[in-house]
Each structure stands twice: as structure tokens, then as C-alpha cells.
């Protein structure tokens, strides 16, 4: 018999997301959540050891002494959520810009006027590492209570060697102290810092010759990201940075075609980036190229909403065109101040017409693929980490449909209950 130290039983819906492996879910596959009614899941030492109907549990699984048993009668049980695009670490906040946008200023106008990313860069350069870490820890705890158990986190508010490294060290320490899994991305090319405004190419040189080699030699990041955008980094500059990153083993992801159609998606396809993110202005060729190259689209409807962009990414065209779609918060102080993937799910459905099942696939297994964690998280299958949510909801659709509340009742990370009733347990 299989031994277990954690059992969740009697779920009205056990959303396993079991399905084809070897690549992210595409097209109609995104609608198949592998739901088991009256399902149960068992874990031992942090890993899933058994999944099946509750009626088979007693004959298949033997609870060890002190086994934790959670009764999920009438509830939905699903994998922990994966947030594959966040700017987790920063100092300060930018609520002043929120008010300016309400009064009609655009994101680009605010940035040109001394706000934007560089405002957060100034605060982050001045901040102590301990303070940065404490703020990010609070954010991760909030995310955890909202069901997010795995997070990608970018640097990019340092824009100098010392502060970029400081940010990546904070990310590493957060990952080491758990419980959330935190996957690090180097984003030294998030913006041109003020001291290089007159000579952006010299900043690109600095990223390539000093930052990338140090980040790689200290193994501080798994990915390299660039804000490829009119007025920020051109396609040519982005490609130079990406070639240097690839040469030292970093995988690529890119902020692409967010505010203008610059060809970021096509570049991502050409360089076989793992993801292209935002994509509000991507053209048909870009979508086609991403599908051909297997680049995952990470869509961030919270940002379009928060910046009043009056446009959302064409999720339906992407899904129909064979692009794997993932969803993320883009959590950051300027363009999307939310930790809530549930809010993102609601926006994905209402604003991009994704079906609830597609949206849930996009924050679980496809999001796991988007950060290279597909073998560890994103589904409830034997061998994966026991990252499990118990929702106070009779079915998965409620997570998209019932908005503005937290339906996450319990959060299990690596087989341990880490949050309950919206509170982080310590
Ligand atoms: O993904 N687009 C660029 N970077 C962030 C915004 C960061 C900020 O405004 O501080 C984004 O939206
Ligand atoms: Fe971003």
C-alpha cells in the first residue's frame, strides 16, 4: 500500500490537469482540466503519491501516524497557481501615477516626466537589502494566501551592476527560505537608466559585458528578459542582449509588443525564447511565428486594465493559431499593482473571452511550462510537488466567475498547509 502523510478527500471537483506531456497545452487541450468528481489526492514527504476517486482511497493508501487529512466535501481542489511574470522586488510605490492616469496621462507620458520605472529604480537603489526582502516577503505571503505557490521574479529596478545583483540575491534568499518556489529572471534591460539617457547603446554594452557574465557565473538567474519597446530597447538592442544571454546558458523571455507593434514576438520566435509577454499589439505574422517556434504567450490583462489601455491581447486568435497561452499578474508598482491571479482569471475571461477552463490551464500547467517548472508543478499528478489548493467553491468555474473575493480556503505547499482562511500560517 502507498503511504501518505497528507490526504485531501471527497472533493466535488478534483482538478488534476493531467493530460498530454512533452509540451504545453494547445488549442482544445486547454479546455480539458482532467476533472475527477469525488476525487482525492495523497502525498508523502512533499510529493504527490496517489490521485484517484475517494472511494478507492482506503484500499490504495495507508495514512502514516500524524497524517493530515483534509475533508474537501463540496469543494474544489486544484494545483497551486503559478505566476510566470512578476516584478516581485522593489522599493516604494507609485500611487501618484495611478491618479495621474485617471486624469488622462498615459504610461509613456508619466515615464517621460520622471516617473515610471526610473522612479522605482531610484527608490530601489537607495533601499537596504533587508528592507527589499521584507517587502517582497510580504508580497509572497499575500500571493500565497491567494493561492499562488510558484512565482517568477525579475530584477530590473537596479539598472546598475550592484543593485541588479542585490535584487537577484534577494530573490535567491526568498527562494531558499520558502515556502513558495521563486524562479529568478535577470532583467537589467528593463529601462535605460537616467545616467545613460544620452547613450543607450553604452548601457546595452554594460548589460552585455558586465552584468550578464556576473549573473551567469554566480548562477543568479535562469532567464534573461528585455523590455523591447519603442523608446526603451529596440529589436536590434534586444537581440544583442539575448545573444549574450544565450551564450552563457540563460533562457529568454521578452516584454514584447506591449505598447506598440515593434516585432518583439517575431524576435522571440527567431531566437527560440521560452515566452513573449504582454503582446497587446502583436500582428498576425507574430502570432504565426510564435506558434511555429513554440514560444509561449504570457498574457497580462491586469496591466491592460490598470493602464486603461482600451485593448487586450488577442487570446482567442492565439489559442486558435496554435500558440500556448499562459496568464500572469505582472505584479509591479507601476503598471499592475495586484498579487491576485484570481483577478487576472476574471479579466482573461471577461476581456479576452477565454473560457474558465482555458484560463485555469493558463495559470497552472501552461504557466509552469512558461518558467520551465512543468515537471515539478502545475498539475496534480504522481511525482509532482504536493502544491494543492482547496477552494470554497463547488466547481473550478467559480474561481473565474466569483470575483473580488478570495475563494482559497487552504493552501498546501510541498505537502504542508501554509495558509488557511486567507491567513499565512507560520
Ligand atoms: O511589465 N513593461 C515594462 N515593465 C513593467 C512595468 C514596470 C513599471 O512600470 O514599474 C510591465 O508592465
Ligand atoms: Fe512586466
Flag whether pLDDT at 73 surpasses 90.
yes
Neighbours of ion ligand 2 (CB under 5 A): 330
Q: Is the pTM higher than 0.95?
A: yes
Distance between CA atoms of residues 346 and 399, nearest Å: 8
Residue whose CB lies within 8 A of the most ligand 1 atoms, among 105, 262, 309, 330, for a mutation test:
330
- Average pLDDT on 205-214 reads 98
Flag whether pLDDT at 414 surpasses 90.
yes
Residue nearest to atom 9 of ligand 1 (CA): 334
Residue nearest to atom 6 of ligand 1 (CA): 335
Distance between CA atoms of residues 18 and 365, nearest Å: 9
Q: For 24-33, write each residue's pLDDT tens digit.
A: 999 999 999 9
- Average pLDDT on 207-229 reads 98
The b/e string for 326-349 (b: 16+ C-beta within 10 A; e otherwise) is bbbbbbbbbbbbbbbbbbbbbbbb
The mean pLDDT value of the chain amounts to 97
87: left (phi over 0), alpha (psi -120 to 50) or beta: beta
DSSP, res 209: I
DSSP bridge pairs for 45: none
Q: How confident is the model at residue 47 (pLDDT cuts 50, 70, 90)?
A: very high
Ligand 1 pocket residue status of 117, Cβ below 6 Å:
yes
Residue pair 123/332 in contact by the 8 Å Cβ criterion: no
Distance between CA atoms of residues 156 and 149, nearest Å: 23
- Maximal CA-CA distance, the chain: 71
Flag whether pLDDT at 97 surpasses 90.
yes
What value does the CA radius of gyration of the chain take, rounded to a whole number of Å?
21
DSSP, res 31: G
Residues 6+ away with beta carbon under 8 Å from 183: 150, 151, 152, 153, 175, 222, 223, 371, 372, 373
Flag whether pLDDT at 116 surpasses 90.
yes
- Pseudo-torsion of CA 370, 371, 376, 377, nearest 10°? -60
CA angle (157, 160, 162) in 5-degree steps: 100
User: Which ligand 1 atom is at minimum distance from the Cα of 307?
Assistant: 12
Please state at what angle helix 129-145 crosses helix 161-177, rounded to 10 degrees: 40
Using the mean position of ligand 2's atoms as its centre, give its distance from the Cα of residue 85 in Å: 6
Phi, psi of 190 (to 5 degrees): -90, -30
User: Which ligand 1 atom is at minimum distance from the Cα of 334?
Assistant: 9
Residue 87, all three cell numbers: 516584478
Residue nearest to atom 1 of ligand 1 (CA): 330
Percent of the chain residues past pLDDT 90, beyond the cut: 99
Q: For 261-291, write each residue's pLDDT tens digit.
A: 999 999 999 999 999 999 999 999 999 999 9
Residue pair 68/62 in contact by the 8 Å Cβ criterion: no
Distance between CA atoms of residues 245 and 192, nearest Å: 18
Phi, psi of 284 (to 5 degrees): -60, -40
DSSP, collapsed to helix, strand or coil, labels residue 138 as: helix
Flag whether pLDDT at 118 surpasses 90.
yes
User: Which ligand 1 atom is at minimum distance from the Cα of 330?
Assistant: 1
Residue nearest to atom 12 of ligand 1 (CA): 335
Q: For 310-354, write each residue's pLDDT tens digit.
A: 999 999 999 999 999 999 999 999 999 999 999 999 999 999 999
User: Which ligand 1 atom is at minimum distance from the Cα of 336?
Assistant: 12
Using the mean position of ligand 1's atoms as its centre, give its distance from the Cα of residue 26 in Å: 27
The upper half-sphere exposure of residue 202, i.e. CA atoms within 13 Å in the direction of its Cβ, equals 7
Using the mean position of ligand 2's atoms as its centre, give its distance from the Cα of residue 108 in Å: 15
User: Which ligand 1 atom is at minimum distance from the Cα of 117?
Assistant: 10
Using the mean position of ligand 1's atoms as its centre, give its distance from the Cα of residue 67 in Å: 44
pLDDT at 426: 81
Amino acid at each position: 500500500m502507498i503511504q501518505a502523510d497528507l490526504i485531501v478527500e471527497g472533493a466535488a471537483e478534483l482538478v488534476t490537469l493531467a493530460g498530454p506531456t512533452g509540451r504545453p497545452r494547445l488549442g482544445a487541450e486547454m479546455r480539458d482540466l482532467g476533472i475527477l468528481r469525488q476525487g482525492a489526492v495523497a502525498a508523502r514527504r512533499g510529493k504527490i503519491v496517489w490521485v484517484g476517486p475517494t472511494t478507492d482511497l482506503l484500499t490504495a493508501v495507508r495514512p502514516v501516524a500524524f497524517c493530515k487529512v483534509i475533508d474537501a466535501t463540496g469543494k474544489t481542489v486544484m494545483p497551486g497557481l503559478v505566476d510566470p511574470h512578476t516584478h516581485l522586488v522593489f522599493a516604494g510605490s507609485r500611487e501618484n501615477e495611478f491618479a495621474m492616469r485617471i486624469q488622462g496621462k498615459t504610461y509613456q507620458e508619466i515615464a517621460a516626466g520622471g516617473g515610471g520605472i526610473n522612479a522605482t529604480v531610484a527608490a530601489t537603489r537607495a533601499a537596504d537589502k533587508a528592507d527589499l526582502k521584507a517587502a517582497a516577503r510580504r508580497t509572497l505571503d499575500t500571493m500565497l494566501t491567494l493561492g499562488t505557490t510558484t512565482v517568477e521574479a525579475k530584477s530590473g529596478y537596479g539598472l546598475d551592476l550592484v543593485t541588479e545583483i542585490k535584487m537577484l540575491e534577494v530573490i535567491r534568499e526568498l527562494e531558499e527560505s520558502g515556502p513558495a518556489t521563486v524562479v529568478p529572471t535577470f532583467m537589467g534591460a528593463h529601462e535605460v537608466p537616467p545616467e545613460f539617457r544620452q547613450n543607450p547603446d553604452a548601457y546595452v554594452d554594460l548589460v552585455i559585458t558586465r552584468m550578464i557574465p556576473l549573473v551567469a557565473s554566480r548562477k543568479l538567474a535562469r532567464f534573461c528578459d528585455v523590455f523591447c519597446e519603442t523608446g526603451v530597447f529596440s529589436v536590434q538592442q534586444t537581440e544583442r542582449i539575448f545573444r549574450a544571454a544565450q551564450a552563457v546558458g540563460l533562457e529568454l523571455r521578452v516584454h514584447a509588443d506591449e505598447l506598440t507593434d515593434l516585432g518583439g514576438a517575431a524576435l522571440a520566435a527567431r531566437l527560440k525564447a521560452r515566452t513573449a509577454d504582454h503582446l497587446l499589439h502583436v500582428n498576425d505574422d507574430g502570432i504565426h511565428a510564435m506558434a511555429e517556434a513554440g514560444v509561449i504567450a504570457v498574457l497580462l490583462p491586469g496591466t491592460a486594465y490598470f493602464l486603461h489601455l482600451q485593448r487586450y491581447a488577442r487570446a482567442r486568435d492565439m489559442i486558435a493559431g496554435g500558440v500556448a497561452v499562459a496568464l500572469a499578474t505582472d505584479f509591479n508598482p507601476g503598471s499592475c499593482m495586484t498579487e491576485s491571479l484570481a483577478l487576472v482569471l476574471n479579466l482573461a475571461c471577461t476581456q479576452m473571452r477565454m473560457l474558465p477552463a482555458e484560463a485555469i490551464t493558463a495559470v497552472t500547467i501552461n504557466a509552469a511550462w512558461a518558467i520551465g517548472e512543468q515537471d515539478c508543478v502545475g498539475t496534480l499528478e504522481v511525482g509532482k510537488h504536493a502544491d494543492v489548493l482547496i477552494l470554497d467553491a463547488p466547481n473550478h468555474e467559480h474561481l473565474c466567475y466569483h470575483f473580488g473575493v478570495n475563494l482559497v480556503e487552504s493552501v498546501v505547499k510541498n505537502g504542508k498547509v501554509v495558509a488557511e482562511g486567507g491567513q499565512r500560517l507560520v
